[in-house]
Amino acid sequence: MSSTEIVGALRRIKEKGESLEYANPRSRRALLHEAKALVTALEPAQDAVLRLLINQPTLIVSIIIAVNSGFFHALVNDGDDPKTVESLAKKIGAEPAFLARIARHLATETLIVETNSSDYAPNAASHLLRSPPMEGMAISMLEAMTPAIMHVPSFFRKTGYKNPTGRTPFQDALNIDEPVFKWALRPENLRLAKSFRVALTVKDGGARWYNTLPVEEILGRLTDPAAILLVDVGGNVGNDLIGLRKTHPSLPGRLILQDLPASIAMLNKDDLHPIEAMRHDFFTPQPVVGAKAYFLKTILHDWNDEKSRLILENLKSAMKPGYSKILINDVVIPNRGAGWYDCSQDILMMLGHGAQERSEEDWRSLIEGIGMQIRKIWDVAGASEKLIEVELA
């Protein structure tokens, strides 16, 4: 890029900065896009490639060491004042010389703040990395998915560089036959299963469909409080139902959380009340017939089209014509200009599940292929996932 183009990029940053609405995710993303374009123009291509090939893998190592050792807790506890490497090492039982190398690397990516040659202070990223959801994300991502990632080169050489249709790189790497979710429920994998459940609360910094969309327009308002308003199918710990109830406490109707027996057994029923917990495998017929809505939160991206059709068919059979609907809260990849989160998730789904993130065309093909139709795709401000409203054709 020429100096003239760089000056132009700086001008666009200034213009978008002056018109920035910080509370508006689109406004922030527009400014961030211009800032990244400037960085791309200024950074030599070789530096950018080396940063991806050398820095990113080793940074992952430093992050997981810091998470597992309790480094971020030690850094954040007792306030945000700078702390010496020696004092931090003593708190977590690490060798100071070893910890100094990890801390130095974390500081290069501003995950912590280097205040002196051996003093460090926390920042917003440090606080995030000591929170249970982000710790869960680090553990489940780095410890569960790393074997699959390391196995990728040999797997795709062997399969001829095609989308997985049978065994996945994850299954091949661990020499297992069951899907990831069943593997995670093995007793020896309990720590990873718990980490994954907590990690699901990380997405989009708390942006939720029920905070921004016209809920009563989408769900309707039931006149019978004993009627079933929403069934969260495969709903994990019930965060969406809990959030919906807190945000719209006067909304009438019962809320039901469904998940596998092992997942339901981990729940504290008192925390859920008045939400009802129910054991259910979504590959079997839906036992709740005639609910107003059935909710699928990032479920179908875990499964290929064949399995996704089965999940949807089971819901379709339970729906009341002219009344029931399915709400799919999932990524819709744009035809152009997809973001890093969507693309990263797409690759992870391929490696772990032989599945994918879908474009609007993919979603329509999947849903119309079983005799249903998309009524509307709602854009959820501040979230990667949209809300796809599906009804019987």
Catalytic residues, by residue number, are 301
Distances (CA, A) of 189 to 14, 239, 265: 50, 23, 16
Distances (CA, A) of 346 to 104, 150, 386: 32, 17, 15
DSSP state of 204: G
Cβ partners under 8 Å of residue 259, min gap 6: 234, 235, 236, 277, 279, 280
Distances (CA, A) of 140 to 199, 227, 310, 318, 334: 8, 38, 27, 34, 27
Strand partners, 326: 294, 390
The Cα 71–Cα 94 span in angstroms is 9
- Cβ distance 357 to 334 under 8 Å? no
For every residue of 147-202, DSSP letters joined together read HHHHHHHHHHHHHTS---SSS-HHHHHHT--S-HHHHHTSGGGHHHHHHHHHHTT-
- Cβ distance 147 to 170 under 8 Å? yes
